[in-house]
């Protein structure tokens, strides 16, 4: 690679997010961040779940850590309220498979009514406000958004949301196709295959304005995944600027001429949004996230 090619292109962005941030996952979240910081001092987006799995724990250490992260330039985004899909079964086979098998009932916003989605967004925003935090992004658990949730989101004060395959600027901004790089850590075949799929995704998106890398707490328990994360970050950061998702939304909203996979308009029909609504060759089962 020549020096010119290695120069970061400000127009090309990398968003790294830490999913499922909660007291129960906090030690693993810290391990993830430690692995990232060992190779790259970059801004991160922490996806925080206020009442994760309805567990009772509170963590002053986590809240202090998140406050410090915010102060250093990271972003805190709302990632559902409980991260659990508590609604009754319904819909077609595909929807039931997504909710029950594929995401193991973690897609909290997959089947909520408009009123219930509004209520849970409000609970989440209240939790943030009690700590003096104002999230500008909402990422649905399991990247699943039903129609009620989409409607509630359109009314809520968020600048963006993301599904597995797209980055949606709300408030009339663009929608970018950007399948997330993600590991399938819960079984051996997934740990073997998903880094390869992530590499293929990065290669496929080489000329795209945005690459997303989503890390989950269980990833931290596998050194091979953390080593892969570090290699990927070093490679991507040779050409891209790391930004929070909030900053990405700001740039996209102000730079509609950014090339590569940008479509106009907001969310249209999503019942619910699949983690992979338009599967391509690199989106095989091993790459698919569950939370
Ligand atoms: Zn999640």
CA distance 150 to 155: 9
In this predicted model, what pLDDT tens digit does every residue of 59-79 receive, in sequence order? 999 999 999 999 999 999 999
DSSP code of residue 86: -
- The token pair that represents 236 in the structure block: 């991507």
Expressed as residue numbers, the domain containing 174 is 3-287
CA 205 to ligand 1 center in whole angstroms: 23
Residues 11-28, mean pLDDT to the nearest whole number: 96
Q: What is the CATH number of the domain that holds 83?
A: 3.20.20.370
Please report, rounded to a whole number, the percentage of residues in the chain having pLDDT higher than 90: 68
In this predicted model, what pLDDT tens digit does every residue of 178-233 receive, in sequence order? 999 999 988 899 999 999 999 999 999 999 999 999 999 999 999 999 999 999 99
Query: What is the dihedral angle through the alpha carbons of 69, 71, 74, 78, rounded to the nearest 10 degrees?
Result: 80
242: Cβ–Cβ under 8 A, 6 or more apart, which residues? 13, 14, 15, 16, 40, 42, 43
- The token pair that represents 272 in the structure block: 């619910």
CA 107 to ligand 1 center in whole angstroms: 8
Strand ranges, E, within 58-191: 75-78, 137-138, 160-162, 166-169, 175-177, 181-182
- Give the global pTM: 0.83
CA 141 to ligand 1 center in whole angstroms: 4
- The token pair that represents 207 in the structure block: 């000329």
In this predicted model, what pLDDT tens digit does every residue of 34-53 receive, in sequence order? 999 999 999 999 999 999 99
CA 267 to ligand 1 center in whole angstroms: 20
Question: Which of these, 257, 273, 269, lies nearest to 174 by C-alpha position?
Answer: 257
Q: Count of domains in the chain? A: 1
């Amino acid at each position: 690679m020549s020096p010119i090619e290695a120069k970061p292109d400000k127009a090309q962005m990398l968003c790294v997010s830490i999913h499922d941030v909660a007291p129960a996952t906090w030690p693993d979240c810290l391990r993830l961040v430690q692995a990232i910081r060992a190779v790259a001092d970059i801004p991160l987006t922490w996806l925080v779940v206020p009442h994760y799995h309805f567990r009772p724990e509170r963590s002053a250490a986590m809240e202090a850590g998140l406050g410090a992260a915010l102060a250093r330039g990271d972003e805190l985004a709302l990632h559902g309220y409980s991260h659990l899909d508590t609604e009754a079964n319904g819909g077609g086979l595909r929807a039931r498979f997504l909710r029950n098998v594929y995401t193991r009932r973690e897609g909290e916003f997959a089947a909520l009514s408009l009123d219930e989605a509004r209520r849970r967004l409000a609970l989440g925003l209240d939790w943030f406000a009690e700590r003096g935090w104002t999230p500008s992004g909402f990422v649905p658990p399991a990247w699943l958004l039903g129609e009620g949730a989409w409607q509630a989101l359109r009314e809520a004060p968020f600048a963006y949301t993301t599904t597995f395959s797209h980055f949606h600027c709300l408030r009339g901004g663009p929608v970018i196709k950007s399948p997330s790089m993600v590991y399938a850590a819960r079984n051996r075949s997934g740990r073997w295959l998903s880094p390869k799929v992530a590499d293929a995704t990065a290669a496929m998106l080489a000329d795209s304005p945005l690459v997303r890398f989503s890390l989950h707490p269980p990833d931290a328990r596998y050194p091979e995944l953390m080593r892969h994360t570090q290699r990927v970050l070093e490679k991507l950061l040779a050409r891209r600027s790391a930004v929070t998702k909030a900053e990405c939304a700001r740039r996209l909203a102000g730079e509609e001429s950014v090339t590569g996979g940008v479509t106009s308009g907001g969310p249209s029909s999503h019942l619910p949004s699949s983690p992979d609504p338009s599967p391509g060759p690199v989106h095989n089962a091993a790459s698919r996230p569950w939370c």
